[in-house]
Amino acid sequence: MGSWFSHINPLYSLSGLVIGALVGFTGVGGGSLMTPLLVLLFGIHPATAVGTDLLYAGITKISGSIVHNINGAIDWRITRRLAMGSAPAAALTLLALAHFGADSASMRAVITTLLGFALILTAITLIFRSWILRHVGVLLNDASVGRIQGLTVALGVVLGVLVSISSVGAGAIGVTALLTLYPKLPTVKIVGSDIAHAVPLTLIAGAGHWWIGSVDWSLLASLLIGSIPGIAIGSHFASKVPDGVLRPVLAGTLALVGGRLVF
């Protein structure tokens, strides 16, 4: 037991606490915050940061899915449609990573660049969510049920690729896209369905990175020790933080970090 605790890094646990609290405050996926922190601040290899963060996200979101399911806040039809696209897309993406070598210099550059663009896209989604819903949603008003179902599966494909490579996308991007596709569905069900879909997606992608060899288990344990109480703390105080203040600050931070990774 003592040797196991010797592998726990207090700095990683502190980072998990801070990121967990921010996730509880904002609801934005931890990958948007945790992965760039691991890459830029701690110098973790991008593939290892992504793989470890995916399992971290899957484990932490299981409890959220259970609560949402108990409250009847999950539309399992939407979750299944997303998974129909994301599961095979994630598998194919992971096979490509394994083929080209997740630890190679070229793949490191690809992962870092895509992570940067994913963060910038997340920041844009956060800032212009109302505009996107108002203008893009109009284009789908007369869409048939079959078209909406097909677009949901296509969204799953996009999220499967993004999440498998960068660990970013299942949060703000996924929720905004679902809100445009299902404007009449209560927001709580959109969020619950997105979280429920994120669990198998992140676990599948995380297991793939484990198979490739890009998961650091001591890092994962260190992050979870801090993030679990952090999420509880952030969720408790979330109602006391004005969304109009927090959202632009978070979006600006993500944009700056994304630009740093891309350029």
Domain boundaries in the chain? 42-262
Say which residues have a Cβ less than 8 Å from residue 107's Cβ, sequence separation at least 6: 47, 97, 100, 101
Residue 200's nearest CA partner among 164, 224, 148 is: 164
**pLDDT of 9 higher than 90:** no
Using CB atoms within 10 A of its CB, is residue 100 exposed (0-12), middle (13-18) or buried (19+)?
exposed
Reported as type and span, the H/E element at residue 217 is helix 217-237
The pLDDT assigned to 150 comes to: 95
In the structure, what pLDDT confidence band is assigned to residue 259 with cuts at 50, 70 and 90? Answer: confident
Task: List the single range of 26-40, 90-104, 216-230 with lowest mean pLDDT.
Answer: 26-40
pLDDT at 197 over 80: yes
Per-residue pLDDT at 115: 84
Token pair in block for residue 155: 């969204």
Calpha distance 227→61 (Å, rounded): 11
- What is Dmax (Cα atoms) for the chain? 62
Rounded distance between C-alpha atoms, residue 147 and residue 43, angstroms: 44
Q: Is the pLDDT assigned to residue 106 strictly greater than 60?
A: yes
Q: What is the dihedral of CA 79, 118, 90, 131, to 10 degrees?
A: 30
What average pLDDT does the segment 223-243 reach?
Answer: 75
3-state helix, strand, coil split of the chain in percent (to 5) is: 85, 0, 15
Instruction: Tell me what pLDDT residue 238 has.
Output: 60
Q: How confident is the model at residue 1 (pLDDT cuts 50, 70, 90)?
A: very low
Q: Read off the pLDDT of each residue in 178-202 and give the average, rounded to a whole number.
A: 86
Q: 222: buried, middle or exposed (CB in 10 Å: 19+, 13-18, 0-12)?
A: buried
Average per-residue pLDDT for the chain: 83
Question: Residue 77: pLDDT above 90?
Answer: yes
Q: pLDDT grade, residue 233 (50/70/90)?
A: confident
List the structure tokens of 196: 């429920």
- Residue 88 pLDDT more than 90? yes
Give the pLDDT band of residue 242 (cuts 50, 70, 90).
Answer: low
Average pLDDT of the segment spanning 149-162: 94
Question: Binning pLDDT at 50, 70 and 90, where does residue 5 land?
Answer: low
Check whether 244 has a pLDDT greater than 70: no
For residue 78, the model assigns a pLDDT of: 95
75 in Cβ contact with 191 (< 8 Å): no
Q: What is the pLDDT of residue 185?
A: 85
